[in-house]
């Protein structure tokens, strides 16, 4: 297989390792979500869902996902599709063409790679791309695009018959909302005002699944934690101002439906329960990403070719991703957000036993076991990224309080109760001995899990910081790390003890010197036998003091190496 490497000008990014992270995201998208959820799903874009039992409790968690059998690492515990989803506004405006219903990327792999690389890209075996860029249909009344007729018909049934911007007045209202939202919510995007509008349209269209979901999922916008009331971060300044600024646009859109539909229920949610809708998005939405390039890459890796050809193909795709990242940055996917009934029943743990993955090139999510899970055991995912997971317990709790209105009580958090401000990763625990505020890679709370000292997992951290941490670990292998305050106190105590020992040693040496040295009024003798007997002692006795100073200096150097 002849791979046309010459079609790409390979650019070595200064963050070359970071492109691997973006590449991995595009090839194997992972996302994290929150607690709470309910009945069956709505979209169903791929094969049949696999649903495991959801247990309702009277405890704070309210809903949880419980394993119906034993699972090993890599097993799919749950497959689910969202009951509502939408592409991000900026993502759509920037040319990422996706199915309006299932968010499947609709560009061909070659066209997407060419656009993201900023130069012509010719892929070997383009027939391997699951999407050739021509398999798309549009709404019969507007320009909304879908991957097939099934998605178009399902979208019409759910919300598009209410939302269809074929009418110029309705189109203008939707455009006004989207432009207003894009002004206050710039990339990286986390949610979408259009998702609110689709939810309301599904209520107007009479979708009972959406109504049941809202009844279960919309309950709290605030929670009491540790005796204090906490509000979701979307409802805190300045975000709440942006949320309120969208309300007039949304009310105008709902009113525009009144000529053909009963808007009573939708208007109630758009007015009286408006903030609950936004809290729903903040607490339960899950990021979705799709890429024609990644789907092609997967197909290429699975093609019937020799090992040499496979390696050459892998190197070529590394080249492609490198150039795409250099030209377009981290945003390599068609991206959006959705709310999943069953997946959102997965509660959080800082020591999760599962993770969310997107493998099918659309909005279908799988909850995959990352450790062995026994039958009857609760299935946990993490709502936090890797950087936060390696941070201190207090840092993790701050984000969980702001984003999800709870504090985690997992075994990891319980074990760190005595040292809640101490970073979790070993390298950061060691570097906390530095105790300074300098940006030197030592003593900084990176929350880093990859050993590079910068906390972002891209491998471009300060190598000196890593080496320093290793040296300190080796020089103080018998020293148990404690909190910075305790380390500082212990250091001060040890310095004081060594200073006292030094003074005692000097006094002892001075006394010995006075006993050996001749009286000051008597001229010094040059007797060689006396010099030999005194161990080459100098006339005034300073040689002994110099020896003592060298010993003290060695002690200080050892101490300095231990606590640098």
pLDDT band of residue 125 (cuts 50, 70, 90) is: confident
Write the DSSP assignment of 252-301 as a string of letters. HHHHTTTTTS--HHHHHHHHTTHHHHHHHHHHHEEEEEE-HHHHHHHHHH
pLDDT at 324: 96
Backbone phi, psi, residue 248, to 5°? -60, -40
Mean pLDDT of the chain: 74
Residues 6+ apart with CB under 8 A from 564: 434, 442, 468, 471, 472
pLDDT at 94: 92
Least confident of 160-174, 356-370, 450-464: 450-464
pLDDT at 441: 36
Please state the rounded mean pLDDT for residues 38-58: 49
Within 84-192, residue ranges assigned H as helices are 89-93, 109-117, 149-155, 161-163, 168-184
pLDDT at 513: 57
Least confident of 48-57, 69-78, 116-125, 412-421: 48-57
CB 164 within 8 A of CB 153: no
d(CA 516, CA 502): 21
Predicted confidence (pLDDT) per residue in 262-315, tens digit: 999 999 999 999 998 998 888 889 999 999 999 999 998 888 888 888 888 889
Give CA separation, 70 vs 63, 67, 77, 278, 522, in Å.
20, 7, 10, 37, 94
Domain ranges, ordered by start, for the chain: 5-369, 386-475, 496-563
Predicted confidence (pLDDT) per residue in 51-76, tens digit: 565 665 544 447 889 999 999 999 99
* Element at 335 (helix H, strand E): strand 334-339
pTM of the model: 0.66
Predicted confidence (pLDDT) per residue in 404-413, tens digit: 888 899 999 9
């Amino acid at each position: 297989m002849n791979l046309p490497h010459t079609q790409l000008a390979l650019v070595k990014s200064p963050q070359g390792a970071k492109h691997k992270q973006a590449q991995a995201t595009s090839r194997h998208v992972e996302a994290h979500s929150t607690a709470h959820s309910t009945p069956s799903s709505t979209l169903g874009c791929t094969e049949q869902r696999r649903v495991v039992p959801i247990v309702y409790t009277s405890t704070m968690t309210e809903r949880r996902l419980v394993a119906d059998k034993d699972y090993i690492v890599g097993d799919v515990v749950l497959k689910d599709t969202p009951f509502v989803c939408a592409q991000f506004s900026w993502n759509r405006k920037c040319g990422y063409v996706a199915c309006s219903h299932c968010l499947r990327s609709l560009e061909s792999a070659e066209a997407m790679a060419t656009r993201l690389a900023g130069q012509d890209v010719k892929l070997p075996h383009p027939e391997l791309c699951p999407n050739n860029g021509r398999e798309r249909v549009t709404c019969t009344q507007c320009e909304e695009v879908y991957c097939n007729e099934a998605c178009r018909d399902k979208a019409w049934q759910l919300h598009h018959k209410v939302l269809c911007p074929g009418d110029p007045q309705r189109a203008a209202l939707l455009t006004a909302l989207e432009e207003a939202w894009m002004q206050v919510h710039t990339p990286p995007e986390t949610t979408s005002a259009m998702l609110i509008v689709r939810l309301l349209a599904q209520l107007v269209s009479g979708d009972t699944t959406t109504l049941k979901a809202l009844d279960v999922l919309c309950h709290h916008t605030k929670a009491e934690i540790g005796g204090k009331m906490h509000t979701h971060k979307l409802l805190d300044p300045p975000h709440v101002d942006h949320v309120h600024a969208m309300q007039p646009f949304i009310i105008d859109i709902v009113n525009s439906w009144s000529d053909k539909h009963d808007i009573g229920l939708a208007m109630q949610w758009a007015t009286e329960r408006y903030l609950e809708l936004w809290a729903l998005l903040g607490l339960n939405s899950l990021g979705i990403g799709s890429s024609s390039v990644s789907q092609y890459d997967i197909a290429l890796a699975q093609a019937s070719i020799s090992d040499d050809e496979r390696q050459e193909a892998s190197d070529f795709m590394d080249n492609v991703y490198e150039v795409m990242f250099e030209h377009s940055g981290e945003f390599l996917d068609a991206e959006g957000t959705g709310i999943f009934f069953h997946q959102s029943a997965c509660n959080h743990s800082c020591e999760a036993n599962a993770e969310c993955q997107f493998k099918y090139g659309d909005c279908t999510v799988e909850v995959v076991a990352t450790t062995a899970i026994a039958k009857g055991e609760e299935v946990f995912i993490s709502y936090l990224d890797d950087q936060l997971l390696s941070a201190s317990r207090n840092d993790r709790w701050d984000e969980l309080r702001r984003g999800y209105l709870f504090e985690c009580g997992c075994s990891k958090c319980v074990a760190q109760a005595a040292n809640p401000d101490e970073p979790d990763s070993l390298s950061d625990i060691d570097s906390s001995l530095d105790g300074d505020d300098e940006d030197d890679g030592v003593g900084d709370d990176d929350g880093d899990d990859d050993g590079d000292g910068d906390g972002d997992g891209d491998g471009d951290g300060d190598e000196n910081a890593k080496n320093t941490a290793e040296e300190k670990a080796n020089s103080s292998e018998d020293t148990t790390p404690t909190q910075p305050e305790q380390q500082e106190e212990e250091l001060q105590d040890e310095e004081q003890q060594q200073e006292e020992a030094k003074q005692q040693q000097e006094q002892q040496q001075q006394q010995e010197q006075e006993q050996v040295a001749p009286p000051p009024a008597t001229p010094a003798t040059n007797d060689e036998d006396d010099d030999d007997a005194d161990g080459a002692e100098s006339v005034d006795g300073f040689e002994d003091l110099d020896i003592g100073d060298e010993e003290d200096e060695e002690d200080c150097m050892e101490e300095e190496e231990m606590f640098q």
